[in-house]
Amino acid sequence: MNLVLVGAQWGDEGKGKIIDILSAKVDYIVRYQGGNNAGHTVVVGDKEYIFHLMPSGILHKAKVCVIGNGVVVDPFVLLQEIKEIKKAGIDIGGRLKISALAHVILPYHKILDQLRETKRKNKIGTTGRGIGPCYADKIIRCGIRMVDLLNPKILSAKLKDNLKEKNEVFKKVYQHKGFDFNSIYKEYLNYGKLFAPYISNTALLLNKAIDANKDILFEGAQGTFLDIDFGTYPFVTSSSATSGGACVGSGVSPAKINKVIGVAKAYTTRVGEGPFPTEFNPSFGKFMRERGREFGATTGRPRRCGWFDSIMVKEAVMLNGISELAIMKMDILDGLKEVKICVAYKYKGKLLREFPHDFEVLSNLKPVYKTLAGWPKVFTKPRNFRELQPNAKAYLARLGDMLNTKISMISVGSAREDTIFLD
């Protein structure tokens, strides 16, 4: 069975936890897009792990973890993660595979990301990790790939060529002194040596695994509404965070994908700028942020919080081909007098039932809510669906109906065991 797991909102849905659970059931875990802008939190016992680049499956012994061609790799960050994982006593052995075709983040990408953001009138709220500029170089065909780090002649030629142009831009447009060839060349050549044992043709590896009837989990980073095409552009990330990205970002054909699972929070959050129709008012937002510990795993920035938006998630179900949903952080809604679900939008007196693309509309519409009664806070965690509070069950039933999608997992806490499976 080859599964794709995607975020159905603006990222931070709690994918890390579900990936961790599903990883136990598969043989290969693949990251297919994004970079270290992502942050997956996994809690095992009393230990919390936050991964930015490493597939979370690395915590499971004997699973092969693949960083696919669609990912942009900051070698410094990946090296740190490898060191931390080894320090935690987890054996990586031959389990980490990095695509030779994955693009590499260079120092100029990070600085450009930050300089561009300071110059922009409409700030995106980027994580400043160089993700956008690295993908831009990939598309304009001057990117440096993992395979290039293994070839001193090619690395030197590409880097020289890039710096010739980029240093001019840094000096003239951004009044930045630019970058020295020698230090970058030396540093990245060294990364090539360090990563050589991990770099390979991962598309071949995965297709051979499929032929051998192995099971693969493709773990999406970010979420549907941060997707470069379908997200709330330009307040998006620079990769294809929707399920289609799994194929182009790994070299596995869509014909080989069996199922897409979506992950959504029981409410909504977003980090960074951009429209957010169901955003709470500031004081309730602060209350929920603290209660849900809604601070970015990558940048520590406070996440904006709001009610569940069924119009958005319905769109995500369609775009990704989601047939099952995991609803996360249900426990954060415990103890509220009432809970709301956005069921439509109103713009200039007109009712909208689909997610609009016009930025002007999206920024000015008003959500139409269905209000449901809340449920009390409980001190023993429910261990199965029966043990959920009746109104919590009613809330979930309403979500399932509105989305016309099966809810197969419900998370009521951060630990692995705080998960209710409906199948």
Least separation, in Å, of the C-beta of 136 and ligand IMP?
11
User: Under 8 Å CB-to-CB from 118, ≥6 apart: which residues?
Assistant: none
How many Cβ atoms from other residues are within 10 Å of residue 141's Cβ? 6
Least separation, in Å, of the C-beta of 301 and ligand IMP?
7
Query: How many residues make up the chain in this entry?
Result: 423
131 binds ligand IMP (CB under 6 A): yes
132 binds ligand IMP (CB under 6 A): yes
Q: How far apart are CA 5 and CA 266, in angstroms?
A: 17
285 binds ligand IMP (CB under 6 A): no
Closest by Cα among 339, 401, 349, 393 to 371: 339
Side chain identity, residue 272: G
Q: CA dihedral in degrees (283, 287, 292, 295; nearest 10)?
A: 50
278 binds ligand IMP (CB under 6 A): no
Closest by Cα among 195, 187, 222 to 108: 187
Least separation, in Å, of the C-beta of 311 and ligand IMP?
20
Task: Choose which of 107, 125, 275, 356 interacts with ligand IMP (CB under 6 A).
Answer: 125
129 binds ligand IMP (CB under 6 A): yes
From residue 242 to residue 271, what is the string marking binding to ligand IMP with x (rule CB under 6 A)?
A: -----------------------------x
By annotation, the residues acting in catalysis are: 12, 40
Nearer to ligand IMP, 18 or 124 (CB): 124
3-state secondary structure of 13: coil
Nearer to ligand IMP, 64 or 326 (CB): 326
Residue nearest to ligand IMP (CB): 272
Least separation, in Å, of the C-beta of 115 and ligand IMP?
13
71 binds ligand IMP (CB under 6 A): no
| Residue appearing with tokens 């689909």 | 354
52 binds ligand IMP (CB under 6 A): no
309 binds ligand IMP (CB under 6 A): no
Q: How far apart are CA 143 and CA 32, in angstroms?
A: 17
Dihedral class, residue 300 (left if φ above 0, else alpha if ψ from -120 to 50, else beta): left
Side chain identity, residue 339: V
First-residue to last-residue Cα distance in the chain: 16
Paired residues of 2 in beta bridges: 216
Side chain identity, residue 182: N
Nearer to ligand IMP, 127 or 224 (CB): 127
Nearer to ligand IMP, 122 or 380 (CB): 122
Whole-number Cα distances in Å, 284 to 270, 271, 289, 305? 15, 17, 8, 9
222 binds ligand IMP (CB under 6 A): yes
Least separation, in Å, of the C-beta of 375 and ligand IMP?
28
Binding segment (CB under 6 A) for ligand IMP, from list 136-144, 233-241, 246-254, 339-347: 233-241
Q: How far apart are CA 24 and CA 42, in angstroms?
A: 13
Task: Choose which of 101, 163, 226, 399 interacts with ligand IMP (CB under 6 A).
Answer: 226
Task: Choose which of 30, 38, 313, 322 interacts with ligand IMP (CB under 6 A).
Answer: 38
How many Cβ atoms from other residues are within 10 Å of residue 418's Cβ? 17
Residues near ligand IMP (CB under 6 A), total: 20
Binding site for ligand IMP (CB under 6 A): 11-12, 37-39, 124-127, 129, 131-132, 221-222, 226, 235, 237-238, 271-272
